[in-house]
Every structure is written in C-alpha cells, then in structure tokens.
Structure 1
Amino acid sequence: MTSHPGAGDTVDWGAVEAGWGTPFPGDFKKFMVEYGAGTIDDYLSVLLAEPQGGFDGGPAYMGMAEESRNAEVAWRVEPSKPRLITWGLDSSADILCWQADGDDPDDWPVVVWSRGDGRWSEYPGGMAEFLCHVFRAEFDRCPLGDLSLWGAASPRFLHRDEQQRLRDSGIDPWTGEADPFAGMFGD
C-alpha cells in the first residue's frame, strides 16, 4: 500500500504514551509517520494516536480515546480482562484494537469486535501484520464485516486531510469524479 504526498502525521509520542501509561507498538508508530490517520479503500479508518483524555484534555469524537471507551463497554464482561486501545474502525461498525496486555506493546495481539457476529476475535501479530493478512486473505475467514479489503491486491490509503481537501473541492475522494453531494451539508 503506497502513501501519497502529504500523508503522515507528527505525533507527540511522549504525551500520547504518558496519557495511556504505556508505550505504543512500533509498527503503529511507523504507520503514523508514513500514512497517518486516514482511510483504506473507503472502508477502514485508522485513527490518529492521541492521549487517553483526547487532545487538550477533552474527548475527541471518533478518536482513539473515545472509541477505546466504546470498545471496552463490549469487552469488559469480566473485570479481569486487559484493557483495549482502539486503532481502527470500519464501515461495518467493527472495532479494531490492541489487547494491551503485557510489557511489550509489539507483542499485543489485535482483537476485532465484529458487529455482525457480536463477538471478539483475537489475531496474533501487530496492526501492520494484521492488515497484510487481510489484504492477502491469509486468515481462515475475513475478520471484518465486509469483504472490501479481503484479498485487496492494491489497497489505497488516503490521509484524512487529503480526503477533506478533495471533498472541499467538490471531488469524491474515492472515485475522483464530481461529488454529487458536495456542498449539501454546509461547510
């Protein structure tokens, strides 16, 4: 998956990791540098790394902190379960997280809340490995609620700022054609 000019985000990892009280996985840090927060094939959104309290101490709508709280509502059936940190969401309302258990974040498995199945599934390896397995259709079954990325030969990533720039210019970011809904919902 190639990035595009202007992709990538600068993250204050000291603030993020202090806010969560833990280091973050190395592959996610590299992803933020190369790609940043954005969307893959208009289906899976990768969230921007943010402090646990959100930016400026307030919750961010659909941000990492807010979505981690949402994931833990479904996860915390038992108080002894390790906490979750959400790194992605998809258009099927699935939630993609790390099971933040253990001292080495590079060993944290990915867990996916499947809205369609109403259950959690765990996948060894980090975020980048998980995405590669999805793109190559290497799991026993697709872990996401839709087959949009399953076996995707050349998935496309768009940084959130590039998506917004295209929308603001009246272009659908995913088709490159004029957006028939441009301007309908205000600025």
Structure 2
Amino acid sequence: MAAPVGGGDSVDWGTIRADYGWQFPNDYKEFVAVYGMGSIGDSLFISTPPFSEYPYASHLLSETPYPPPGGLLCWGTNEGGDDFLWRCADADPEQWTIVIRTRDQTLHEYDMGIGEFLLNVISGNLVIPLTASLEIDPPVFETWREEDLRMKEEGELEGF
C-alpha cells in the first residue's frame, strides 16, 4: 500500500508514555510515522494517540487507562461495527496479539503484530470474519487530513 503524500503523524511516544502510561509496538509506531491516522479504502479506520496537530477530542487513548479493562485496546474500526484491538496481556507491547471483535461480540485472535496483520489482510492472505467486508481493493490509505478536506469540499464538515 503506497504511503500517502503528506501522510504520517508525529507522535511524541515519550510524552504518551509519561502522560498516559502506555507504550506501543514498534510496527505500530512505524505505521503511524508513515501513514498516520486515517483509513484504508475508506473501510478500516485506524486511530492514533494524540499528537500536536490532532484535531479531535477523542483518540486512541481517550478514557483508556493502562492496563486497559479486559486487557484490550481498540486501534481500529470499520463501518460494520467491528473492532480491531490489541490484547495487551504482556507488559512488552511486542508480544501483543491482534483481536477482532465483531459487532455480535465474537472474538477472533491472531498471533501477529499490526504490520503483519494489515499486510496479510490487504494482500488477501488472511480473510477475517467481519460484520461488513473491508473495501480495500485497491488498498489506498486516506489520511485524516485528506478526509477532512474531502468532507469540507462535499459540505459535510459545516463549521469545522
């Protein structure tokens, strides 16, 4: 999946750890640096912790203490009401696994990091049981900046 022009967000990971108590897997940090907050194919929205340009009130860590209740932290969603989470059972974020929680609360766990998971989903090597299928062919990433601009142009962000 091509990196978007002007993509990537500069998260101060040290501040995130100091302010919220969280540390994150390296592959997620790399994803955020290259792609940032946004969506794949307007189908899978990927969230980030707050950063200096962050325009929204809620974010990946909104009201989520460390360790999280139930050991799960949501990093993505789709329009079908499915959640993409980490199982944060280990103090070492490199050991976290991916969990999909469908709208009916069924859990599916994958023993891989977010980078490997997204690569397998985008390439079609991993088909996950979701409430709504992901529209990611071709896999295009739209940053939050691009989405805001598009929505303003379409009149969907009045007063933003």
Does the alignment reach a TM-score above 0.5? Answer: yes
Query: Once superposed, which parts of structure 1, at least 4 consecutive aligned residues long, lie more than 3 Å away?
Result: 66-69
Structure whose CA Rg is larger: 1
Alignment of 1:75-94 (within 5 A): 76=70, 83-94=71-82
The counterpart of 1:113, out of the listed 88, 101, 104, is 101
Q: Choose between structure 1 and 2 for higher RCO, CA contacts under 8 A separated by at least 6 residues.
A: 2
TM-score by length of 1: 0.71
* Cross-structure match for 1:34: 34
- Percent of residue pairs identical: 30
What is the identity, as a one-letter code, of the residue corresponding to 1:13?
W
* In 2, Cα distance between equivalents of 1:39 and 1:84: 21
* Cross-structure match for 1:145: 131
Deviation, structure 1 residue 143 = 3.5
* In 1, Cα distance between equivalents of 2:145 and 2:29: 19
Q: Please, which runs of 5 or more residues in structure 1 have no aligned partner?
A: 77-82, 171-181
What CA deviation, in whole Å up to 9, does each residue of 1:91-119 have, x standing for no partner?
Answer: 1111111111213211210111110x421
Q: Is residue 2:60 matched to residue 1:64?
A: yes
Deviation, structure 1 residue 68 = 5.1
TM-score by length of 2: 0.82
Count of paired positions = 154
The alignment yields a C-alpha RMSD, in angstroms, of 2.5
* In 1, Cα distance between equivalents of 2:11 and 2:84: 20
